[in-house]
Structure 1
Amino acid sequence: MNDNSNYSRHVPVSRRVRDISPSATKEMANLAAKTGGCVSLGQGVPSFATPDHIVAAVTEIMHSDPASGKYTLQSGMIQLRECIAGYLLQEKNISVNPENEICVTVGGMEALLTTIFTVIDPGDEIILPSPTYASYIEQVLLAGGIPKFVPLTRDWGLDLPAIRQAVNPKTKAVMLCNPGNPTGTVFSDDQTMELGRMAVDCNFVIITDEAYDYILYSNETLTSLLGLKTMREHIISVFSLSKKYALTGWRIGWVAADQRWMEQIMKVHDATTICAPTPSQFAALVALEGDQECVTHMRNALVRRRTLCCSRLDGLSEYFSYVPPKGAFYVMAKYLFSDSPSREVATRLLQEAKVITVPGGSFGPGGEGHLRLSFGGKSDEINEAFDRIERWLVRFG
């Protein structure tokens, strides 16, 4: 007798996957695609095209070098790792061995994920100053860890006494994005140095995400904790070329750490990706070694767009309050016109005004009541988005 009952049952999805949520940034983009006619203050993708000299050089390499379409060493091309080591020493005073303390990764995201899987066991806690980058939360959950949110201060600074109070025997790491996504904050050296001393004293790791290190709106420079010998074994640093060189789609970044950590990180990297895409590694090499005028051009444009975004928000002070961003290209705008959850406000704004934002609650409890606005888009798009928001707020009121 044929029993078809088994065909109606499903093998359950793993709990670790059921426990994570899709990115709110991607959810809003998907909703916008269905809505049509939207302008975006949402996804953190600058409008710039990959610089011509990078595209031209990689195209030539792909035509002339048969190895450019093949695997590299798992940790990346040695010439790229040597270039990265030189860059870290010159720009950040970080001394690392390119042979065994750098791993080239599939963007900063893979570097973060491989690091988290290396650092924590199921049930371990990672402290996330909140609002935090939303993907940190899902990556910690995916690894079986427990995100422990510690609110930032009202001006988006680190609340160091609260972090110290949150540390317990289960604490394995603190994750720090500096300059910050989603807040645009820049944590001062005094704050990060004190956090570094806390890591040594309490024996946890600081995972630093420095994807936006090139875009500061002041003349200050930031000290990278990995460059300090007293803290070295407690710091794992992640970098990305996605935003600095308009290489978001090329998916290229790296992680740098003491050899003891890197030996273990490499195991996860090898098991997940083998190596970063070879053409993208060549793109990274050309970007780092080539003319930096493109970076200056893009940075100057972002400075102007920051001014524009803040000016438009100032004109809506009855409806929004915000902390002016000190870095990156985001503003966390607190809305004053509604008590509704941020996902509801963002969804209404998208469907009714056709403006994409990202609900602040997706960045942890510290972000609720806010919308993350990105000013990475072109100036006319930023203006159009705010024009629509203004008209919508009149109707909303």
Structure 2
Amino acid sequence: MSKLPNITTSIFTVMSKMAAEYNAINLSQGFPNFPVDEKLTDIVAQLAKEDVHQYTPMAGFPPLLNKIASLVQKSYNRTIQPETEILITAGATQGIYSSIQALVGSGDEVIILDPSYDSYEPNVLLSGGIPVRIPLNDDYTPNWDLIEKGCNDNTKMIVITNPHNPTGKILSMTDIERLESILAKFPKIILLSDEVYEYITFEQKHLSIHTRPALRNRAIITASFGKSFHITGWKIGYVVAPEHLMKEIKKVHQFLVFSVNSISQAAISQYLDYVSVEEISPFYQQKRDYFQKLLSNSRFELMPCEGTYFQVVSYKAISDENDVDFCKRLIIEHGVAAIPISTFYENGKDLRLIRFCFAKDNATLEEAARRLCAI
């Protein structure tokens, strides 16, 4: 008997497989195709000859834990304790899984805001919890009245994603204040804030939960070195949580992976001495602006992109097809792979919007845009 009877192959796998079959340009799955910083690869090459190949402590490589504490202090002016409030994870997704498994029990309700990253619901189901999926407004702002109505004595957790995947939306100060107001009325609800794109924001920085004293003692925050340093294949992220929550998360982590790849932890620990996270946003903003310029003469309508490395576009002026069929035809007939937004909704809501990843080298973006502008 399946524990996830309604879960099928992810849309990312489907579209990437089709892209390979039809030799299409893959702008679907969110991974960069440009080289990693040479300084980081040099560090890895040197470390390969050193004694960093055995288990690290369960919570993480101590020097890296200290570096993360310093990074959070510098970025958000928050002091955290490396030994008790940080956990290195095998990607942010494992951190999310461990957090939900540790804190959500049978019959607990977890509010998820749609469109949503596709790992949230399966994690809740595997914990015995009940996913309560509440749609964002059509402009991808939260409907706080609907969210508040969804809260009750059985609500154990609310999951937010900021900056938001797949839409690139950033929560405003009004949004954060309304969230605080709701959680003040429901003091037992835990907040899980997925902030993996925290350093990929543009005209305005996102408002991290790290900066909200009213929420920090009941919030789990996930982050991703894979996203920040375009090393997605390393699968390395981290979780920050107050000690009383982290104790429970570590219990699951201990028996899930125990500890994370040692050489990657040592490499990132050294790399943080050389890299500035402040350089990440300008780099990706240049990518976003260039991709938007390339598509300016197409029939696609570009939606606002405030963060992440994804550009959502409307194809209403091109076709009346549903977004899944349109994306398949886009691959087969035009050689470009995208992701249909309806697959991020529980009810498959289709606004004829699709998502492109612009974390690609300029030559890839130029050829993709040439094909898209010809439609």
Fold similarity call, TM over 0.5: yes
TM-score w.r.t. the length of structure 1 is: 0.87
Task: Provide the residue aligned with 2:75 in structure 1.
Answer: 91
Question: 229-238 or 304-313: which moved more?
Answer: 304-313
Shift in Å, 1:329: 1.2
Distance, in Å, in 1 between the alignment partners of 2:275 and 2:92 is 23
Q: Is the 8 A contact 1:95 1:227 kept in 2?
A: no
Task: Provide the residue aligned with 1:341 in structure 2.
Answer: 322
Q: Is the 8 A contact 2:202 2:282 kept in 1?
A: no
**AA in 2 matched with 1:209:** D
Q: Does 1:23 align with 2:10?
A: yes
Q: Does 1:34 align with 2:21?
A: yes
**AA in 2 matched with 1:207:** L
Distance, in Å, in 2 between the alignment partners of 1:134 and 1:368 is 18
CA 1:105 to 1:233, structure 2 compared with 1: closer, same or farther past 3 Å?
Answer: same
CA 1:74 to 1:118, structure 2 compared with 1: closer, same or farther past 3 Å?
Answer: same
Shift in Å, 1:332: 2.1
Task: Provide the residue aligned with 1:326 in structure 2.
Answer: 306
Q: What is the aligned counterpart of 1:199 among 183, 186, 191?
A: 183
Q: Does 1:388 align with 2:375?
A: no
Q: Is the 8 A contact 1:152 1:159 kept in 2?
A: yes
CA 1:367 to 1:125, structure 2 compared with 1: closer, same or farther past 3 Å?
Answer: farther
Q: What is the aligned counterpart of 1:240 among 224, 227, 234?
A: 224
Shift in Å, 1:328: 1.0
Distance, in Å, in 1 between the alignment partners of 2:315 and 2:155 is 34
Q: Does 1:310 align with 2:292?
A: yes
CA 1:332 to 1:71, structure 2 compared with 1: closer, same or farther past 3 Å?
Answer: same
Per-residue Cα deviation, 1:114-157 (whole angstroms, up to 9, x for no partner) = 11112212333222222222222333333333332222223322
Q: Secondary structure at the residue paired with 1:352? A: helix
Task: Provide the residue aligned with 2:266 in structure 1.
Answer: 282
Q: Is the 8 A contact 1:155 1:323 kept in 2?
A: no
Q: Is the 8 A contact 2:89 2:236 kept in 1?
A: yes
Q: Is the 8 A contact 1:111 1:255 kept in 2?
A: yes
Shift in Å, 1:76: 0.5
Per-residue Cα deviation, 1:223-265 (whole angstroms, up to 9, x for no partner) = 3224433322321100111121122111111001011110000
Task: Provide the residue aligned with 1:215 in structure 2.
Answer: 200
Q: Is the 8 A contact 1:199 1:234 kept in 2?
A: no
Q: Is the 8 A contact 1:46 1:243 kept in 2?
A: no
Task: Provide the residue aligned with 1:4 in structure 2.
Answer: none
Q: Secondary structure at the residue paired with 1:31? A: helix
Q: Is the 8 A contact 2:43 2:271 kept in 1?
A: no
| Structure 1 unaligned residues grouped into runs of 5+ | 1-13
Q: Is the 8 A contact 1:23 1:135 kept in 2?
A: no
Per-residue Cα deviation, 1:136-179 (whole angstroms, up to 9, x for no partner) = 23333333333322222233222211211222333222211111
Q: Is the 8 A contact 2:171 2:207 kept in 1?
A: no
**AA in 2 matched with 1:351:** I
Q: What is the aligned counterpart of 2:85 among 82, 101, 104?
A: 101
Per-residue Cα deviation, 1:187-242 (whole angstroms, up to 9, x for no partner) = 11221232133123213122111111112111x33332244333223211001111
**AA in 1 matched with 2:194:** D
Q: Is the 8 A contact 2:85 2:243 kept in 1?
A: yes
Per-residue Cα deviation, 1:259-283 (whole angstroms, up to 9, x for no partner) = 1110000011111101110011112
Fraction of identical pairs, as percent: 27
Shift in Å, 1:183: 0.5
Q: Is the 8 A contact 2:160 2:194 kept in 1?
A: yes
Shift in Å, 1:182: 0.7
Per-residue Cα deviation, 1:290-326 (whole angstroms, up to 9, x for no partner) = 2328x62x54342222113323444334xx3342101
Higher Rg of the two aligned structures = 1
**AA in 1 matched with 2:201:** L
Distance, in Å, in 2 between the alignment partners of 1:338 and 1:189 is 37
**AA in 2 matched with 1:348:** R
Task: Provide the residue aligned with 1:62 in structure 2.
Answer: 48
More helix as a share of residues: 1
Shift in Å, 1:367: 5.8
**Aligned structure 1 segments of 4 or more residues deviating by more than 4 angstroms:** none
**AA in 1 matched with 2:308:** A
